[in-house]
Amino acid sequence: MKVKELMTKKVLVLKPNNTFEEAAKLFIENGIDGAPVVDRDGKLISIVTKTDLMKAILNKLEMNTKLETLNLKKVITINSEMNIEDVLKYNVGRLPVIDKNNKIIGIITHTDFINDLVEKISKKCRDMKNTKLGLTELDSIIECSYDGIYITDGEANTIKINNAYESITGLKRAEVLGRNMKDLEKEGVISQSATLLVLKNRKTTTIQQEFKTGVKVLVSSNPIFDKNGKIIMVVTNVRDVTQLYELKEQLQKNKEITLKYVSEIEEMRTQLLNTSEIVAEDHKTIEIIQLANRIAKVDTTILMLGETGAGKDQIAKHIHKVSKRSKKQFIKVNCGAVPASLIESEFFGYEKGAFTGANKEGKIGLFEMASGGTIFLDEVGELPMDMQVKLLRVLQEMEVVRIGGTKPIKIDVRVLAATNRDLEDMIKKKQFREDLYYRLNVIPLYIPPLRERKHDILPLINFFLTQLNKKYNFNKIFASDALNCMYEYNWPGNVRELKNIVERAVIMSEDDKVKRSDLPKNIIGSNGMIVTLNTFEEGINLKETLDAIEKKLIKKAYDKYGNVRAAAKSLGIDASTFVRKRQKYIKEEI
């Protein structure tokens, strides 16, 4: 066909203002699969294959592949007086190529068949004409995605990535666009390709992926099929999980630290149970012991505060035992039990012949006796005012003067004091010296009442029961209803009262099982939640009983409040302890 004849046909022309979308529609809708390019004389100068055309379209290149050798404009489109519908009416076999000067410089000859892939894309292009979103808008949506997006064709060639992908992975477009995933995987650009797995297994695949930049991501690749079930595209969503892994590592470290602390606390508690009469199961008691261990290392004066019977004397003994003075004397003085007329002589001693009825050899006072060790002034709030003055001088000067003597005697003693009274209120009422209060209250140590550390109740019962069984050669146990009753009792007398009740009930019970009816009426009639356990058999041991009661209480508290924090608070324990114990009992049920 001559050039002159060709010019009478509807032709493809090159215009600088044509868009990529127009070029794509032109080639697809004219069925260009493979096209030889000839010059004016019909001599073959190049071939534009289907693959070249498709890659150019999908990669948004502007036809600058083999046609570029002809120095053509970079866009090929239809003539301005034509529309898509007009072009589709023609079975165009040959198309002239016109340069920027409207000079025909070659002819593209193409086959008439259009494969399934081209038909699919052609349909998409026609459909897109009738949609509100064009390619430009679609690109904008992809670029605005927070997740990284990576798109390949059905042969794993990279055709599109967005800005988020570059930001997340640290890779640049130039490194991956147009490249096959097999090559990227082989070169170590990515650790493993989810796209290749999708093409192999033909289903959505999610894997962890790591890049040469060191970034770890979670990728989910999804296949896109044509109407014949062929994969024409794979779209991959990429989410940065590097921070999640860092948080996971930090969480693991925190767990290890927590386990270490728990182990240390358990070890300390075991040591306490083996070295003293302190039962430390409740977290509040454990915290007190921890503080006591720290302050025991120095000789600072300590003022222990708390209700009567709360265990202040046991804490004082423990402080002495773990201090550097443990091999010396521990002297306990009940200030409220010493007659006022004898306090001075008992505290500081007297010389021989100091007063009528005095020992002929004189007497050493308790402070002298405790020198090198510890003196514990229990119920210090009961001291009369005149004795408070003398005690203050001893604390300030660390020396005593015996009654009838004139020479000060140096002493080296650690002073621990305790009271169940409100010393600040006593100061306001002029019943206690303010200067002595500040001298004693260097480090205050509050011992909470038993009702505020309820997790010590059942272990204390077990401790006292063991002592009594050994002492009286008994083999007694407490029934579950008796334990429930004692657990819910308010214990105004604290540990001292509990010890007395346990001893009374053990001695007064007629058989080896101490029942609820063996307890005093004031405890049986006390208000409180009674947990009824019906699963216990005769002869069950105390540990199993305690565990069962604890399990019941934890379940009941959680069912009532519906959350860990409130349930833990109702039982007087912290949330972490509640969770640990609850998980323990849940595992036992599984």
Average pLDDT over residues 236-254: 76
Q: At what angle do helices 480-488 and 542-561 cross, to 10 degrees?
A: 50
Question: What pLDDT, on a 0 to 100 scale, did the predictor assign at position 501?
Answer: 94
Measured distance CA(41)–CA(47) in Å, rounded: 16
CA 557 to chain centre: 23
Extract the tokens encoding 277: 């009469």
Query: What's the pLDDT at 46?
Result: 52
Name the β-bridge partners of 478: 514
In the predicted model, what is the mean pLDDT of residues 456-466?
93
Residue 194 is part of a domain; what is its CATH number? 3.30.450.20
CB-based contacts of 70, cutoff 8 Å, min separation 6: 37, 45, 46, 97, 99, 105, 106
Give the DSSP H/E element, type plus range, for residue 149: strand 148-153
User: What pLDDT sits at residue 405?
Assistant: 85
Tell me if 377 is assigned to some domain. yes
The CATH number of whichever domain residue 541 belongs to comes to: 1.10.8.60
pLDDT class for 437, splitting at 50, 70, 90?
very high
Confidence of residue 167 (pLDDT cuts 50, 70, 90): confident
Alpha helices in 398-456 (DSSP H): 423-428, 434-440
Is 243 exposed, middle or buried (CB count within 10 Å of its CB: 0-12, 13-18, 19+)? exposed
Which pLDDT value is given to residue 40?
A: 54
Is 312 within 8 Å of 335 (Cβ atoms)? Answer: no
Both 107 and 21 in one domain: the answer is yes
Residue 375's pLDDT is what? 96
Domain assignment present for residue 63? The answer is: yes
Question: Is 266 part of a structural domain of the chain?
Answer: no
169 has pLDDT over 70 = yes
> 367-379 pLDDT, tens per residue?
999 999 999 999 9
226 or 140: which leads in pLDDT: 226
Residues 150 and 199 grouped into a single domain: yes
* pLDDT score recorded for residue 52: 52
| CA 219 – CA 198 distance, rounded (Å) | 12
Is the same domain home to 191 and 339? no
Which pLDDT value is given to residue 581?
A: 84
The domain boundary residue, chosen from 448, 483, 511: 448
pLDDT at 361: 76
With H, G, I as helix, E, B as strand and everything else as coil, classify residue 140: helix
Domain count within the chain: 4
pLDDT bin (cut points 50, 70, 90) of residue 32 is: very low
What per-residue confidence (pLDDT) applies to 354? 66
Alpha carbon of 541 to those of 11, 63, 456, 516, 545: distances in Å?
Answer: 101, 88, 18, 16, 6
Where residue 117 falls among pLDDT bands split at 50, 70, 90? very low
* Pair (228, 158) in one structural domain: yes
Find, among 418, 414, 427, 416, the residue nearest to 446 by Cα.
418
Is residue 553 a contact partner of residue 547, using CB atoms and an 8 Å limit?
no
Spatial contact of 554 and 578, defined as CB atoms under 8 Å apart: yes
* Residue 444 sits in the same domain as residue 462: no
pLDDT at residue 276, rounded to an integer: 53
pLDDT score recorded for residue 553: 85
Write phi, then psi, for 46 (nearest 5 degrees).
-170, 165
pLDDT band at 523 (very low <50, low <70, confident <90, very high): confident
Question: Is 130 contained in some domain?
Answer: no
Q: Is the dihedral of CA 293, 296, 298, 300 positive or negative?
A: positive
Q: Region 228-251: what's the mean pLDDT?
A: 80
209 and 326, same domain (yes or no)? no
350/380 same-domain check: yes
Residue 134 counted as domain residue: no
Residue with tokens 């009274």: 421
Q: Would you state the structure tokens that stand for residue 194, as one six-digit string?
A: 């989810």
> Quick one: pLDDT at residue 538?
53
- Which tokens go with 143? 């670029």
264, 256 Cβ separation under 8 angstroms: no
In a domain, 345, yes or no: yes
User: If you average pLDDT over residues 281-299, what whole number do you get?
Assistant: 90
DSSP 199-260: HHH-S-EEEEEEBTTS-EEEEEEEEEE-TTS-EEEEEEEEEE-HHHHHHHHHHHHHHHHHHH
Distances (CA, A) of 359 to 354, 355, 406: 9, 9, 18
Rounded to whole angstroms, how far apart are CA atoms 142 and 237? 11
Question: Higher-confidence residue: 454 or 267?
Answer: 454
Question: Distances from the Cα of 382 to the Cαs of 4, 72, 83, 385, 396, in angstroms?
Answer: 128, 111, 110, 9, 20
Give me the pLDDT at residue 412, please: 94
548 has pLDDT over 50: yes
509 within a domain of the structure (yes/no)? yes
pLDDT tens digit sequence for 320-369: 999 999 999 999 999 988 888 889 989 998 888 666 666 677 888 999 99
pLDDT at 393 over 90: yes
Q: Are residues 113 and 152 in the same domain?
A: no
Give residue 39's pLDDT.
54
User: Residue 278: is its pLDDT beyond 70?
Assistant: yes
Each residue's pLDDT tens digit, 68-91: 333 333 333 334 343 333 433 333
What's the mean pLDDT in 439-462? 93
Q: Is the pLDDT score of 44 beyond 90? A: no
Beta-carbon-side half-sphere exposure of residue 167 (alpha carbons within 13 Å): 12
- In a domain? residue 262: no
Instruction: Indicate the residue among 124, 152, 176 that finishes a domain.
Output: 124
Q: According to the model, what pLDDT value does residue 248 have?
A: 74
Name the pairing type of β-strands 374-378 and 330-334. parallel
Gap between the Cα atoms of 222 and 205, Å rounded: 7
Q: Supply angle C-alpha 120, 124, 130, rounded to 5.
A: 150
Q: Which domain covers residue 542, as residue numbers?
A: 451-589
The reply to whether the predicted model has a pTM over 0.85 is no
Of 40-54, 113-127, 513-527, 552-566, the range with the lowest mean pLDDT is 113-127
Please check whether residues 87 and 181 belong to one and the same domain. no
| Of the ranges 70-74, 234-238, 562-566, the best mean pLDDT one | 234-238
Least confident segment among 202-216, 385-399, 535-549: 535-549
> SS3 of 432, please?
coil
Report how far residue 325's alpha carbon sits from residue 319's, in angstroms, rounded to the nearest whole number.
10
92 is written with which tokens? 């165009």
pLDDT at residue 530 greater than cutoff 60: no
Q: Is it the case that residue 560 has pLDDT exceeding 80?
A: no
Percent of the chain at pLDDT above 70?
A: 68
Give the model's pLDDT for residue 102: 60
Measured CA to CA, the distance from residue 314 to residue 288 in angstroms comes to: 12
Kindly report the number of other CB atoms within 10 A of residue 240's CB atom.
18
pLDDT given at position 30:
52
Assess contact for 123 and 9: CB atoms under 8 A.
Answer: no
pLDDT above 50 (res 301): yes
Interatomic CA distance for residues 18 and 370, integer angstroms: 105
Q: What is the pLDDT of residue 552?
A: 82
Q: pLDDT class for 380, splitting at 50, 70, 90? A: very high
**Final residue belonging to a domain, choices 81, 96, 124:** 124
pLDDT on residue 82: 39
Do 483 and 553 reside in the same domain of the chain? yes
The tens digit of pLDDT for each residue in 171-202 reads: 888 888 889 999 988 888 888 888 999 999 99
SS3 letters across 505-571: HHHHCCCCEECHHHCCHHHHCCCCCCCCCCCCCCCCCHHHHHHHHHHHHHHHHHHHHCCHHHHHHHH
Best-predicted range by mean pLDDT among 12-26, 82-96, 267-281, 293-307?
293-307
Residue 476: predicted pLDDT? 94
> Which pLDDT belongs to residue 477?
94
How deeply is 521 buried, as exposed, middle or buried, from its count of CB atoms within 10 A (0-12, 13-18, 19+)? exposed
Sign of CA dihedral 17, 19, 22, 28: positive
* Residues 364, 443 within the same domain: yes
Say whether both 506 and 568 belong to one domain: yes
> In this structure, what CATH number is given to the domain that contains residue 381?
3.40.50.300
Specify whether the CB–CB gap between 237 and 148 falls below 8 A.
yes
The angle, 0 to 180 degrees and rounded to 10, between the axes of the packed helices 50-58 and 20-29 is 150
Instruction: Give the residue, 386 or 564, on which the prediction is more confident.
Output: 386
